[in-house]
A and B are shown apart, each in its own frame.
Chain A
């Protein structure tokens, strides 16, 4: 401490007298409240007083328990082994491993871990029969203590570990082992007067001529000449400031937009609630295509249906599905049903936007991108999300070829500094040839970065487009996770204010 050790400063005097007034002992937050001073000012003053032996600071630690993101998810949807066990019960008490696992929708959790817990908790047993593995349900698992503990902690937000000891000690250690809980130490500080602090005379505030703040009055009157301006501890930390700033994920989206605009692409957007016609039928996805099942797209309870207004287009798409119309294709050879095409869903791919764009931009050249949300049924966990962002781009012109498609993908990746790119044959119902493109990630190795291709004639002809169109769709969230160095997809929609505040700008 530099400065006047011999004299007492205003804040120190104030704290000393507060402590005397309330019986010699107080918790730090109480002093802050009573004094009307900032946290940091109180801390500084208490430290000085303690250095001078006038007060003593007692610290008490409490271990607090709170749910991790994973734990919060399970508090909502239930622990995986309980979900698996109830799925097996729902399937009649016994089911093949594959079926039970897929119906329980466990997402990316390692099945052996779930089975391990299922067995440990006596909820089910594993049987092998004729080369297949079955699960038989044994218990109800309705009042699994681990789940009860999870929900209890969830309802309170944060619970002292001490309070859980009696009823849930085993659950707490199990949940901790599974990384579903986070523990942190809360330190409560209490300030107590020493006998010396109790007896030392409290100087009146005017005792010192030392002044903390230079005021306009002092400058105006010249009084600054008669006072001593307190020397600060210039090395002490200032109070933190939380500036207003943009979300890193949104910043990354802005960056991608800038690149595409610079590459000559127009931005477009379409409805989030979309007709199956625009999301699937016009893309030559047969009406019984697995992607159209309720496991892979969100169908609506309300509203359910829409009107398909462009009758010419509807008729062409119908014929194309049935027998290929004049596209040169054999078609899918089934009876196309307009009432399926009229169903409303949450858009599952931004390719629907490309289709709407092409329907109204029939003259080449066409260059469009769309950076927006799509939805697919999934349980929210570190690797899956029910809504995510796609970056879609199309280029249509006379003389456009597959080599141009590869050229665009390579240019985009190099602009985003994603490193080496390689291409492999892929499959999408609406493009042919189809390409999957991979980028080299420093730790994950080659990872898929974009699905692309040239729209099939069965897609373009009904729209009245007579030039080739190349298209690509990027799972933008994965790219964002790499760029922002995130491992949990939920961090793109982070609800942790302190984390967002602490994160440097992108």
Chain B
């Protein structure tokens, strides 16, 4: 979840009411924010990722004013017709086709205001704009350029301007290669023959989206009026971002002037702050929340969430949705806002009256029995990770490379594949405990994953029981006795043991356990080469049983206990 910093005093002044910090925290907790920490005047907040409009103190204050009843219904913003025109050139169509903009006049750029704008821009970039790929924002000093702009794709060698934070003019290639932002975001446009560029009628460059602004329109303490450019690959998102920033700045007292965007023959005015409209069924609200609210009450609650509402009947409302609310796509989203305004803490918890009997899985039941038996046999239960290193499963076990599930993006080679058997993990455990007193008898009951092309997911998860016994002296007989006793106690019949060869075990001291022509496990004394590979200095006897097979077989053969 995105986090942001807001000033306590700044927030209170935006709310228009001095709220004690604990009450403010409580209020924030009951909306989609939470206080993570307080450092002097600064509050660190966490905001859920569905609400990009709450990524600044302006947006939070707007929401709080509603919840506190200070100001209800749609926030009113005047959009004046401005002189800003942006011609969108045909060349940009397949690169980053959409742009929106606005001019904000008369804004007092206090430290708080600047910090919040910068933070809003940064947080939007990171979250809603998907790291600038979908949308990116430039904020400029509006008075440094003419207001007749062109948005076009220009070959990198023809681009020439001084980017923000740089000393001299650069071309498009140089910007991608040698500026920090170029290195970070260059990959978004590197593949194109021409890069997006926004420039005025005198050729002054405002920005090279989504990488960097030009130094010429840099916002300074002397800046009086701001110009926004919002570009991207998704028109809906571009407009939401433009609306969020423009209305936030208006909350601080700025006057919004629209920009005329010209796409060939069609023209649009941005920002377009006309509310979206949705119908809301009162029964749906009450059924979902378990309440009995009247239409009037629901309408009042929605107004506190800054919607305008018309009550059509006892059954239905028409809801007018603020143009900065990108998250409302279904009636259910309005229902949640009703619940927030009502207060989650006021919803009385209920237990359903329907009676059901829970059943555990057969495999859980059998696993538990086998774990109980293992404990009685003196083995200690351990739990290893399912992710492991590739070498432990095969090479270190004296086996040829095996087909295992392998992740493409491991963060450590120790956890790069899924185990396909348990004994290697148990041997690793022994390696780590060489200095602990013997005998060491441990077991694990856990999942392994095998490749299986007949399964829709190409794999099959199997429950296994694995055990190792390590001491100055151990024997095949010891684990054999354990296995036989387990089978006897779970009433398994008709199984047999067959001599096999298995490179992980000593020749002639390893056997496979067969049931219904199927191998359901194996046991033996671990090969000294394997012990050497794991750095284990005492002999080890081990066994592993496939509980999944046992469950399938026992469940089919004896339904009644």
Contacts and interface: CB of A to CB of B under 8 A. Distances in A.
Interface of A: 76-77, 91-92, 94-96, 99, 105, 129-131, 134, 157-158, 240, 242-247, 249-250, 254, 257, 260-269, 271-275, 288, 290, 294, 298-303, 305-309, 324, 327-331, 333-334, 344, 346, 365, 367, 369, 373, 375, 377-380, 386-387, 395, 397, 399-404, 406-411, 422-427, 432-435, 454, 456-458, 468, 492-498, 500-501
Contacts of B374: 244
A422 B456 contact: no
Contact of B461 (A272, A308, A375, A468): A272
Interface residues of B, number: 103
Interface of B: 1, 29-32, 34, 48-51, 118, 127, 130, 134, 164-165, 180, 183-184, 234, 236, 287-291, 329-333, 335-336, 339-340, 344-345, 347-352, 354-361, 364, 368, 371, 374-387, 403-412, 414-415, 418, 428-429, 432-437, 440-442, 445, 447, 449, 451, 455-461
B287 A401 contact: yes
Contacts of A96: 180, 184
Contacts of B183: 91-92, 95
Contacts of A377: 409-411
A365 B332 contact: no
Contact of B360 (A261, A407, A423, A492): A261
Given A247-B383, A378-B411, A493-B384, A271 B457 contact: yes
Given A387-B386, A422-B345, A425-B31, A401 B289 contact: yes
Contacts of A244: 374-381, 441
A433 B411 CA distance: 35
B359 A456 contact: no
B451 A493 contact: no
A250 B406 contact: no
Contacts of A245: 375, 380-381
B358 A261 contact: yes
A249 B354 contact: no
A252 to B, nearest CB: 11
A468 B344 CA distance: 19
A290 B385 contact: no
A276 B82 CA distance: 47
A309 B30 contact: no
Contacts of B350: 401, 403-404, 406-407
A130 B410 CA distance: 36
B291 to A, nearest CB: 8
Contacts of B383: 247, 249-250, 492-493
A105 B409 CA distance: 13
A351 to B, nearest CB: 16
B434 A157 contact: yes
B335 to A, nearest CB: 6
A303 B364 contact: no
A13 B335 CA distance: 88
A408 B351 contact: yes
B332 A387 contact: no
Contact of B289 (A300, A369, A402): A402
Contacts of A306: 456-458
A308 B354 CA distance: 35
**Considering residues A99, A247, A269, A425, which has the most beta carbons from chain B within 10 angstroms of its beta carbon?**
A425
Nearest to A498: B436
Nearest to A130: B165
A403 B289 contact: yes
Nearest to A378: B411
Given A260-B358, A273-B449, A427-B32, A402 B380 contact: no
Contacts of B435: 157-158
A387 B368 CA distance: 22
A254 B34 CA distance: 33
Contacts of A410: 349
Contacts of B409: 294, 298-299, 377
A329 B411 contact: no
A424 B130 CA distance: 26
Contacts of B406: 300-302
A378 B385 CA distance: 13
A301 B331 CA distance: 41
Contacts of B359: 261, 266-267
Contacts of A454: 288
A76 B414 contact: yes
A495 B429 CA distance: 6
A249 B434 CA distance: 23
B349 A456 contact: no
Given A298-B407, A302-B405, A303-B458, A401 B335 contact: no
Contacts of B287: 399, 401, 468
Contacts of B437: 240, 242, 498
24 contacts: A94-B180, A96-B180, A246-B371, A246-B375, A247-B382, A262-B358, A271-B461, A273-B405, A273-B461, A275-B457, A298-B407, A301-B408, A303-B458, A330-B329, A346-B407, A399-B287, A401-B287, A401-B289, A402-B347, A407-B349, A424-B344, A425-B340, A495-B433, A500-B382
Given A406-B348, A423-B345, 9 more contacts: A92-B183, A105-B411, A267-B358, A387-B385, A395-B352, A406-B344, A407-B352, A468-B287, A497-B382
Contact of A404 (B331, B352, B385, B455): B352
A403 B290 CA distance: 6
